[in-house]
Amino acid sequence: MEVSAVEVKEYFVDLKKVVLERQSYWEEIDPRPHAVGVLIRRKRLSWYEEILPKIEETIEMLEDIKDKRNYIE
């Protein structure tokens, strides 16, 4: 099964939305981070901060690939 660049881009755009929603959810649900566990909360939020730039970079790379394909054709 072959997947087009458009489908891959849509997947990563949707993934970015989900990650942003989860990040905001965990920031809202944890009003007392000192009582819940600072290290667990920090690890969770740092994962989101780490993965979001990679998702954005992938989306930009897919747009570049699309532009290059359009230029070649």
**The pLDDT value given to residue 28:** 75
Give the pLDDT of residue 62. Answer: 87
pLDDT of residue 7: 84
pLDDT for residue 37? 65
**What is the model's pTM?**
0.64
pLDDT tens profile 18-56: 988 887 887 777 666 555 566 667 777 777 788 888 888
Q: With the C-alpha atoms ordered 48, 20, 64, 2, is the resulting torsion angle positive or negative?
A: positive
Its domain, for residue 19, covers 5-72
Chain-centre distance for alpha carbon 55: 4
The total domain count for the chain is 1
